[in-house]
Structure 1
Amino acid sequence: MQSTTAICPSLFNATTAQDGILSRIRLPAGLITASQCQLISEIVNQFGTNQFGYGEVQITNRANLQIRTSAALSENTLLDLQDYGLASSCPDTDGLRNIMASPAAGIDSQALVNTIPLVKQWNLYLLNHPELAILSNKFSVCFDGGESINISDRPNDICFKALAIKDEIYFSLQLGSEVIGILIPYSQVIAVLAALTEVYRDYTEQKIEQRLEQDSKNLRSRPPRLRELLNDWGIDKYLDLVAEKLNSKSPSIPLKKGDEEISTPPFTRGAGGDQHLESQIERPSPLAPLPKGERGTRGYQHLGIHPQKQAGLAYIGIVVPLGRLTAQQLRGLAELAKQYGGGALRLTPWQNILLTDITIADLAKVTELIANLGLSISPTNPYAAIAACSGITGCKSAHTDTQTDAKAIASHLEKCMQLDEPINFHFSGCDKSCAQHHASDIAIVGQDSRTYKIYIGDGEIHFGRELYAECMASELPQLMERLINVYQTQRQPNQNFREFVNQSDLPELNRKLRQGAIGHA
């Protein structure tokens, strides 16, 4: 029988919330087959909860799939999920964070390399190493193949980012937000990742033993995050220990720094090589302002119809309102994937879905069938760029019902106006910002059960500049309508929303919004 005591939910250890028991199904790289969708739909319909979430599934910002049920999943149901490849045969490691890759991996013509094989190899490694269950369940790994749909800016403990140097593909190693300045051949990525993880496990064991010595009753102390290791040991000591493990197993692993090949020790970093390499590597910052060419598009450029690298095929990016699908919609999309596509769906970290491998001749028909399921493919649909945490019904930290309030804004905007570009709304029930880690155009942050703070554009804190210290939830739809109308009627040519609000005088903008409220009344 499924346990329901977790703080951070997984499949074998779920979380009890106000709106039911929350289980999180880990889908490496967000890939899910049509037959897997069918099984999940059946489970959701069998165990679905009350009016808060009956018959629904939800995509997370790490491309997991969440289900809410009225009772714990039975042992037979968990076995079915294992049989279908939706649950690890090792329950202990099933709770580790999802392995991330671009949802367009393998189909993006801009990509340098297909990272899906690396995702599968690392998932198999975790399956075969149950001793890694001791690690923090927030331990996260990302593989970026250089796709146009970029995910390397998202928070991860370890990221491998593909680079082309002299017609060869290497991966740049990144720990947290720190680009290390080391290049790793494709063939050695998993070996290096395994060594990084083994050293992290050694550190975790040491810390747990120390805590038990200090307090023998502290059996439920959380494992240390990788960032704690980096703060405690520093990057150089960590990489020296990783190099020892690598060299003891395979002393011939070639790594590349700048233009010089090195083999022993692979993680010794020379200053000259670092400086040469740093000029080739972008340092991402999840909360930094978006580059000008990506503002208003990052996370949404995959929506709509796009050609694949495979000749004669295209993929369709589908808007999933707040990441939630009914069981019927999930089954419907699975049938489209089976009949017209490659037999699988791709979940995105922006809580949407890609339907891939559609022939050009079938695009019009498939687009019509998607609309018949009540779903849109337009990047300017109000739901396309709204992210919202689970809110008060699903999280003890939340102050507000973010899901209901976000729906109210999207529904109102659908009825009263036409957006001409995606505008990113981020609803957060508290200050933790779980639903979206990167900066948004508009951040709406819960303060108590009925009020929100509103931030816009870029500011000293990652939510942006404070526009309103307090706004009633019931006032939000009309306020957002007025704010977007001011932008769309008063912007400069080619000026996007973020640029407009960054350059706006906040008192003057407030005055315009108040005038709009009087006129609306």
Structure 2
Amino acid sequence: MLAAMPPSVPPPALSGDASARGRGDACPGTLRLHRADDGALARVRIPGGLLTAGQADVLREVAQRLGDGELHLTSRGNMQLRGLPADGGGELASLLGESGLLPSERHERVRNVVASPLSGLDGRGEQDIRPWLSALDELLCAGDRTAALSGRFLFALDDGRGDVGALGGDVTLTARGTEHALLRIGPAHDALLIQAAQAPQAALIAAETFLEQAPDGSAWRVTDLPDGTGPLLEAVVRRLRQAGFSPAPITEPLPQEADEPALGIVPGPLGTAALSIGLPLGSISSPQWQTLTDTARHHGVGELRLTPWRGVVLPGVARREAARLLADLGAAGLITGPDSPWTGVGACIGRPGCAKALDDVRATATAASGPVGALPVYWSGCERRCGHPHGEWIDVVATPDGHQISHVHGEKRDTPASIPGSPGALAAAVAAARG
């Protein structure tokens, strides 16, 4: 267990201040808040999305005491708290530090790690990658050089099922059998086969090597490197061999579609199950969050796993109780199966929380909700498309004259169709696009 940060911490800076920009990376954290139209915003990094019930209680307390009373999940399985007062950062940092959610002041924004949320629960993965997760987080927090990583640099730990491997990690570890792992740098098809026991250290070496390739801080992610990922991979091979590793080059296509957890009951071993829950538009009220936390504490193993698809997995419930518990969570307003009209629907915060947004896209998405579509849909208040999904999806973007709808598949985007401000026309167009 990483030691909790001492209660005495410096007051967070607001990322709207010039003094908070550092290397130009204004990505928010818990010690660097973002000034939004609805108050200050904090982003709490939760590596692999793993939370104890006690830590979940702390997040709810913070949202109620300091924020807007809601908790907002991100596309990296982290948590955002909105509506914070500009002078509430000290109390926020103290509460998070005491709960173990802020183990290092210097590294709090670089703990960006997504991991297969069902790893070790359903027998599908090739390895349980949770030991990688805890080891990598400790290595990140212990390293001097890793503190220089940007708040956007992403590690992905895939247990072999191909879920988070498709999420565009800068450094991706994928389980191969029980003894090996595949180390990938960015989106390249060229990768390295390494020993599974060496995987966390290899990921750390890859990140440190990236920093050496971009010493001036101009590259926040590996795709920003002017010479591409090839020279970086060659440098990583040299560093691994110097460390006594024996990486074997391998070529394998990058997964294009994320195999995200199905909603509902996930059967597990020895009469257990996990509950896979979705959050409408990725947000959850404090009472709903308490219902989830109480279910995890009293019927599961006291753990919650946040997913990069803005959902929550509750492991270790008794299979004989799973249907009843799932019904209770559905009654609380959460998404418990594929037939919910909210399944596959996401949105940025939109107006009034974001000054750049051209529309209250959450209200618009609610008004335009209809039958479940074959494709996910994401509503964006402006062309930045903050938090958009990966893979194939329907892109709805607010414009000054209405909305634009396009079909995105991988790196390709179809010609968008412009839809005027008519709610009926917009709902029909989105339904048709989703299929």
TM-score (norm: length of structure 2): 0.87
Paired residue for 2:264?
A: 304
Once the two structures are superposed, residues 231-262 of structure 1 have per-residue CA deviations (whole angstroms, 9 ceiling, x without a partner) of 33x545434433443344x33x23345xxxxx
Q: Could you say what secondary structure the match of 2:150 adopts? A: coil
**Match of residue 464, structure 1, among 400, 409, 414:** 414
Mapped contact 2:405–2:430 kept (Cα < 8 A): no
Paired residue for 2:183?
A: 173
Once the two structures are superposed, residues 381-408 of structure 1 have per-residue CA deviations (whole angstroms, 9 ceiling, x without a partner) of 1111101112243334433222221122
Q: Aligned-pair distance for 1:306?
A: 1.6
Paired residue for 1:194?
A: 204
Paired residue for 1:282?
A: 253
User: Which AA in structure 2 matches 1:195?
Assistant: I
Q: Aligned-pair distance for 1:163?
A: 2.1
Mapped contact 1:409–1:480 kept (Cα < 8 A): no
**Match of residue 275, structure 2, among 316, 327, 330:** 316
Paired residue for 2:367?
A: 408
Paired residue for 1:5?
A: 15
1:335 aligns with 2:294: yes
Paired residue for 2:406?
A: 455
- Aligned counterparts, 1:23-34, within 5 A: 23-34=42-53
Mapped contact 2:280–2:335 kept (Cα < 8 A): no
What CA distance in whole angstroms lies between the structure 1 residues aligned with 2:298 and 2:324?
12
Measured on the aligned residues, the alpha-carbon RMSD in Å equals 2.5
**Match of residue 426, structure 1, among 364, 372, 378:** 378
User: Which AA in structure 2 matches 1:177?
Assistant: P
Closer/same/farther in 2, CA of residues 407 and 182 from structure 1, 3 Å limit? same
User: Which AA in structure 1 matches 2:314?
Assistant: L
1:226 aligns with 2:222: yes
Paired residue for 2:3?
A: none
Paired residue for 2:21?
A: none
Return 5+ residue gaps in structure 2 as ranges.
Answer: 1-10, 17-25
Paired residue for 1:262?
A: none
What CA distance in whole angstroms lies between the structure 2 residues aligned with 1:336 and 1:405?
32
What CA distance in whole angstroms lies between the structure 2 residues aligned with 1:395 and 1:438?
22
User: Which AA in structure 1 matches 2:114?
Assistant: M
What CA distance in whole angstroms lies between the structure 1 residues aligned with 2:204 and 2:198?
10
1:358 aligns with 2:317: yes
What CA distance in whole angstroms lies between the structure 2 residues aligned with 1:201 and 1:339?
44
Mapped contact 2:183–2:203 kept (Cα < 8 A): no
More helix by share: 1
Mapped contact 2:300–2:316 kept (Cα < 8 A): yes
Q: Aligned-pair distance for 1:105?
A: 1.4
Q: Could you say what secondary structure the match of 2:165 adopts? A: coil
Q: Could you say what secondary structure the match of 2:169 adopts? A: coil
What CA distance in whole angstroms lies between the structure 2 residues aligned with 1:191 and 1:185?
11
User: Which AA in structure 2 matches 1:453?
Assistant: Q
**Match of residue 152, structure 1, among 165, 186, 190:** 165
Bigger radius of gyration among the two:
1
What CA distance in whole angstroms lies between the structure 1 residues aligned with 2:108 and 2:167?
21
Equivalent residue pairs, number: 415
Q: Aligned-pair distance for 1:305?
A: 1.0
Q: Could you say what secondary structure the match of 1:36 adopts? A: helix
Q: Aligned-pair distance for 1:228?
A: 3.1
User: Which AA in structure 1 matches 2:327?
Assistant: E
Once the two structures are superposed, residues 261-301 of structure 1 have per-residue CA deviations (whole angstroms, 9 ceiling, x without a partner) of xxxxxxxxxxxxxxxx43xx33334xxxx5xxx8xxx53x5
What CA distance in whole angstroms lies between the structure 2 residues aligned with 1:240 and 1:345?
38
